[in-house]
């Protein structure tokens, strides 16, 4: 199956750095208002599920980081341009 997102590895890295299991992180997402299961989180981290913009924002919020932190370093320079394009 083709890669469905580019943020999965960073989400996993940031979650693990915070000492959170997938279950614990999914629970934090649920408490923040997103009904995310551990299974869905696993698919996101493995790149097997697409992530929409609202979900990217929620992941960053729950991880306590800025959105840029969950994108690969090689795409970060393009983020300000993409944000201001029409």
* CA distance readout (Å), 66 to 3, 50, 59: 23, 19, 10
Distance (Å) of CA 22 to CA 27, 36, 40, 82: 8, 10, 10, 30
pLDDT digits (tens, 9 = 90+) for 2-16: 899 999 999 999 999
Q: Which domain holds residue 38?
A: 8-84
CATH number at residue 61: 1.10.260.40
Q: pTM for the full model? A: 0.86
- Whole-angstrom distance, CA of residue 65 vs CA of residue 25: 14
Residue 58 lies in a domain: yes
Domain membership of residue 2 (yes or no) is no
Is residue 1 situated within a structural domain?
no
Residue 68: which residues within 8 A CB-CB, separation 6 or more?
76, 79
Give the total number of structural domains in the chain: 1
> How high is the pLDDT of residue 18?
98
Total H helices, total E strands in the chain: 5, 0
Is the pLDDT assigned to residue 83 strictly greater than 60? no
pLDDT, tens only, 46-55: 999 999 999 9
pLDDT of residue 59: 98
Q: Does residue 71 lie within any of the structural domains? A: yes
Residue 37, domain member (yes or no): yes
């Amino acid at each position: 199956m083709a890669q469905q997102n580019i943020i999965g590895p960073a989400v996993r890295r940031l979650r693990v750095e915070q000492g959170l299991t997938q279950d614990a992180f999914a629970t934090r997402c649920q408490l923040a208002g997103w009904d995310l299961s551990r299974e869905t989180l696993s698919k996101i981290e493995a790149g097997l599920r697409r992530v929409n913009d609202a979900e990217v924002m929620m992941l960053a919020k729950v991880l306590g980081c800025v959105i840029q932190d969950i994108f690969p370093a090689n795409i970060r320079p393009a983020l300000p341009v993409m944000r201001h394009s029409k």
